[in-house]
Structure 1
Amino acid sequence: MRLATVSAGGENICAAVLNDDRLLNLSKAAHHLTHPAAEALKANSMLNLIAGPPETLDIARSLVVDAEAGVLDASILPEGAELLAPIPNIRKNVLCVGRNYAEHITEGDRAQKQQVGVTEYPVFFTKPPTSIVGPGGDVLTFPSVSKQTDYEVELAVIIGTPGRNIAKADTMKHVFGYTILNDISVRDVQRRHGGQNFKGKAFDGSCPMGPWIVTADAIDDPHALPISLTVNGEIRQNGNTADMIFDIKTLIASLSEGMTLEPGDIIATGTPAGVGYAMDPPSFLKDGDTVVCNISGIGTLTNSVRAV
């Protein structure tokens, strides 16, 4: 099932995406239901849906079946609804993983003339809520601050069930679904601050995400997904999530050590090779560029670059 947040009629609506790409207003479709789990749908919030009891998704699936059969026509949103980031207002920073594809590590070490290689443990950093932008939104560049804005297509994991110190064998039970994330990175600012990632990854508009969340049951193997990115139609990144060094189980187990993961938490799992700063010569994003991210089984995320 594909779940989206859309803007229509001046309000944000949590919707299911039907097979023909029509959008089902889940709150409206569930308004007559009395099952307690339906309250998470009536709240009209992706975070409430994710945090709802297990039966919530079952109810949503049954509503989708009814809509596909033409039973819920009155709950179909009119054409022109705008896709937003699946979780427009996240409760905490996006949790990100660095250096998780071997070829990306190699190209980075070569470009920076250093030898770090594969780390023993995952490398983590975060992106703030103000960095979030939805499908079709603008990736912002700030020429007065930097001219080295780069891209990184990533598979993002959405946590559904809370937990701390999660055993590796149990980690996938905590996954609600998956989406696409573009970890926009300002390279010289990254290095300006001692090589740590946060500031150079935290600019406004530096976290395009979407177009929707695909629930975990719809992805047979999240470690077998072709993943790619183009800039103005030119292929830049072309990899597969099978090439992750630290798999999703390892990332969730490691992150949850001593730290509670909550429903709606987002984990960006790293990027394959092909980033702009490692090209010869380097090629960074500029005003007017169009960036398209694609992950098989999830969809396509398209954003334009705008200088401010």
Structure 2
Amino acid sequence: MKYLARTIEGTPLLGDDEGFVPLGSVHPDLGSVREALPRAVAGTLGDPGDAPATRIDRDTLRFGPPLARFGKLWGIGLNYAEHAGDLDEQRPDEPASFLKPNSALAGPGGPIRLPPTEQSERVTAEAELAVLMGRECRGVDEGDVDEVIAGFLPVIDMTAEDVLQRNPRFLTRSKSFDTFLVVGPTVAVPDGSIDLDGLTVQTRVDGAVEAENEVANMLHPPREIVAFHSDVMTLRPGDLFSTGTPGAAPIEPGDEVRATVESIGDVTAPVTR
């Protein structure tokens, strides 16, 4: 597995399980992670060990968001059958998608800032596997989706649940408060195709597992989600799909939320108001 990342100061990085080097030390012609996404798709990121630079241990790095600016931020609701049952909702026959604004995005470490209580008194946090696009595409067959995906990362999605429960038409507002999408610190770029089905996704609050499930139990798997939406609109490098959560957990100021996606990574953020 290779990893693309940025320091909190904005320096693009390329790494593996041994550590990170500046992206420019491997690819002098690349000035940003976004520019590296097509090479992630093509499997030509190279080996950080071949760089004329000393590897830096990830524990000594402070990461910012992997991209300076993401593209479209898609979310998929009710994508695990059990979570749909928790919300007393009917299982959707097609991906139940929505868009979030870029202003909702926060980098690793957050914090997650809850809205004033007069706007919402019940916010939930949801761990999700996210898919990052690496090539422009339109009308991609599901079997060819790996040819347009750059990699994967964990995210924490938030919902003002009481707003949503008042009226399902309020979905966009309930999902769009500032800091209501915390992205993981690194984009995991598999060496070849990856079997996503066996990966476990966990929502944790203060160390306790509040929800857990396997990607295999999604109603609409990640590659289907990408193919489905590529029939709707052109997808571009930097577009992100949060593929749905195994379950949501209510959060309060002082909590610490963690999203863990097996083999992909994790992201943590404290909750404030």
- Confirm or deny a common fold (TM above 0.5): yes
Number of residue pairs the alignment of both structures matches: 271
Q: 1:23 to 1:216 in 2, by over 3 A?
A: closer
| C-alpha deviation, 1:268, in angstroms | 0.8
% of aligned pairs identical?
Answer: 27
Query: Could you tell me whether the CA contact under 8 Å between 1:187 and 1:200 is conserved in 2?
Result: yes
Alignment counterpart, residue 245 of structure 1, candidates 219, 223, 227: 219
Match of 1:86 in 2: 66
2:82 matched to 1:103?
yes
**Match of residue 37, structure 2, among 50, 53, 59:** 50
5 Å matches for 1:222-233? 222-233=196-207
Report the equivalent of 2:15.
Answer: 17
Residue 257 of structure 1 aligns with an amino acid whose one-letter code is: D
- 2:7 is matched with 6
**Equivalent residues in 2 for 1:147-226, closer than 5 Å:** 147-217=121-191, 220-226=194-200
Structure 2 unmatched ranges of 5 or more: none
Which runs of 5 or more residues in structure 1 are unaligned?
Answer: 32-38, 110-115, 277-283
Distance 1:286 1:176, change over 3 A: same
Distance 2:201 2:193 in 1: 14
Q: Distance in 2 between matches of 1:131 and 1:295?
A: 21
The residue that corresponds to 1:30 in the other structure is 27
- Paired residue for 1:262? 236
Q: d(CA) in 2 for partners of 1:198 and 1:79?
A: 36
> Does structure 1 conserve the Cα–Cα contact (< 8 Å) formed by 2:105 and 2:181?
yes
Question: Residue 18 of structure 1 contacts residue 24 of structure 1 at CA under 8 Å; is this kept in 2?
Answer: no
Are the equivalent residues in 2 in contact too, given 1:159–1:263 (CA < 8 A)?
A: yes
CA distance in 2 between counterparts of 1:299 and 1:54 reads: 19
CA deviations 1:45-89 (Å, max 9, x no partner) are 22121145966x52x323x1214xxx422x759985421121241
Mapped partners of 2:193, 2:210: distance in 1: 25
Deviation at 1:17, TM superposition (A): 2.6
Q: Which has the larger radius of gyration?
A: 1
**Residue number in structure 1 paired with 2:266:** 300
**Residues 105 and 179, structure 2, Cα contact 8 Å, conserved in 1:** yes
| 1:279 equivalent in structure 2 | none
Distance between the aligned counterparts of 1:183 and 1:265, measured in 2? 16
Q: 2:105 aligns with which of 117, 132, 153?
A: 132
SS of the equivalent of 1:151 reads strand
Q: What is the rounded CA distance, in whole Å, between the counterparts of 2:185 and 2:225 in structure 1? A: 23
* Structure 2 SS opposite 1:65: helix
Distance 1:215 1:80 in 2: 21
Q: Is the 8 A contact 2:40 2:189 kept in 1?
A: no
Code of the aligned partner of 1:126? L
The SS at the match of 1:228 is strand
3-state SS of 1:100 partner: coil
SS in 2 for 1:184: strand
Q: Is the alpha carbon distance of 1:262 and 1:286 closer, same or farther for their aligned partners in structure 2, counting shifts above 3 Å? A: same
> Structure 1: how far apart are the matches of 2:90 and 2:58?
51
